[in-house]
Amino acid sequence: MIEQQALRGNFRCEACGDLYEVEYPGWSAGRNEERSQATRPNPNALRWLWRERRASTAMEDQSGVWRFREMLPIVKSDASIVSLREGNTPLYPLRRAARSTGVERLFAKHQGMNPTGSFKDTGMTTALSVASEMGFSWVACASTGNTSAAMAAYAARAGMRSLVLIPEGKIAWGKLAQSLDYGALTLQVKTDFDGCFRVLSEVVERAPVYLLNSVNPYRLEGQKTPAMEIAEQMEWEVPDHVIVPGGNLANSSALGKGFLEMKRLGLTTRVPKISVVQAEGANPLYCSMVKTGGKTLEPVAANTRASAIRIGNPASWKKAVRVIQETGGWVEQASEAEIALAKAEIGAEGIGCEPASAVTLAGLKKLVRQGRIAREESVVLVLTGHTLKDSEYTIQYHRGKLLGEDEAAGMEAEIEATRRNTIELEAAADNVLRELERASR
Ligand code: F0G
């Protein structure tokens, strides 16, 4: 592990400019393979211990992140842990989508079921605990809305102050409301996410503020724990494929790290293929893979209604490329209409998610059509955010006001079949009964 004090404010190596990654001497990344055999924990003992902790009343045992703390020795004392009982999220079978895609063993790992409604909580509990242990009083992030909601909540729990930079007018109301409610100093900056991040990178060099964007390697340590949960929920048989939305590309990197570390420790015998799906309007990784095989990445001017992943210059792209190539996954992209339809389909399962999460189902359909995912294989879609995060998007969709005609071209029938607008009527039982009858036909 890199000494915390040695980390620069922007978490980039002074020599090569690349992002840091947390490694554990003894068992990470295959170093000193022989010597590390002796220092590795016993996989059976770990599986037993992690399950037992769920019955404990201690806060660090009830957290679905810190329950796996043998995999993340990043705080000096458990007393530093700041937790909202994150993690332990459900793995739902997607029965309708399984029928429509033909992939029988199709599951959603719903990270929107975390305390602030997104996967960011798993990484925020770890990085904020480190910040608190290091004695910072201010933490900060640039965000498309979910990181800021999570950071503000965890900072409030720790008695710390939080500074949020969000792109003006480009985040969902639910997320903005959370940031205000949890007491963050919230700045709406007249730029996009990439611009917010640029400004904040300078701020953290000039003020004693701890940066909690996903360039912070401790975020990824927490965000790798859903990999452990998925393995545990599938009786330590990992799925054939895991599909993740791609924005700043930290989550795909973190999950890949989790699966690879579990295999190295002998907890599992293989790793799933990890595939990343981006919105067509915010697809720098997709373009990079198609044009250069992931060697270089050209930033794009990002534009998508899936505002969580409206990112044109992703910080963790090199880590994501490594994970995709090491696990044998792919990168796909989804159009605005494909995302909206997939989101409605996930809603119709009684689960729901925010738009950015729905790219996973849209991407799965394409990967199946291309023959890259076989119907008999098992697939986990990582749903990153709760449906209530962006209810305006959902309402616009069901009112038929979300997509332009050209965007929906060719998909009108499928979209129409998933739309459920409200019906206005006078207050009489007859009127209600008429609608009931019509809907039952
Ligand atoms: N899904 C949701 C709901 C998100 O909020 C994000 C990122 C992603 C997917 C993409 O994850 O960036 O690790 O590739 N949201 C960040 C934020 C950027 O500020 O909340 P990623």
pLDDT recorded at residue 36: 59
Q: How far apart are the first and last CA of the chain?
A: 63
Does position 125 have pLDDT exceeding 50, yes or no? yes
Contact status, residue 159 vs residue 138, Cβ threshold 8 Å: no
Does position 236 have pLDDT exceeding 80, yes or no? yes
pLDDT recorded at residue 17: 82
The letter for the amino acid at 375 is R
- How confident is residue 1, by pLDDT bands cut at 50, 70 and 90? very low
Closest to 264 in 3D by CA, of 235, 227, 310: 227
The pLDDT tens digits for 291-333 are: 999 999 999 999 999 999 999 999 999 999 999 999 999 999 9
Whole-number Å distance, alpha carbon 165 to ligand 1 midpoint, is: 15
What is the pTM (predicted TM-score) of this model? 0.95
Kindly state the average pLDDT of the residues 188-215: 95
Pocket test for ligand 1, best of 124, 220, 251 (most atoms within 8 A of CB): 251
Q: How far apart are CA 432 and CA 423, in angstroms?
A: 10
Whole-number Å distance, alpha carbon 384 to ligand 1 midpoint, is: 8
Does position 2 have pLDDT exceeding 50, yes or no? no
C-alpha Rg value of the chain to the nearest Å: 22
pLDDT recorded at residue 65: 98
Structure tokens, 300 = 């794009």
β-partners of residue 315 are none
Task: Indicate if the alpha-carbon torsion angle 58, 60, 64, 67 is positive or negative.
Answer: negative
Which single residue is written with the structure tokens 């332009």?
Answer: 404
Whole-number Å distance, alpha carbon 423 to ligand 1 midpoint, is: 35
Pocket test for ligand 1, best of 274, 286, 384, 389 (most atoms within 8 A of CB): 384
The pLDDT tens digits for 341-356 are: 999 999 999 999 999 9
For residue 149, give the ligand 1 atom closest to its CA.
20
Q: What is the mean pLDDT of the chain?
A: 94
Q: Who contacts 399 (Cβ-Cβ below 8 Å, separation ≥6)?
A: 421
Kindly state the average pLDDT of the residues 81-108: 98
pLDDT recorded at residue 22: 82
Q: How far apart are CA 390 and CA 72, in angstroms?
A: 32
Ligand 1 neighbours, Cβ below 6 Å, are: 118, 120, 143-147, 214, 245-251, 308-309, 354, 356-357, 384-385
Atom 10 of ligand 1, nearest CA residue:
247
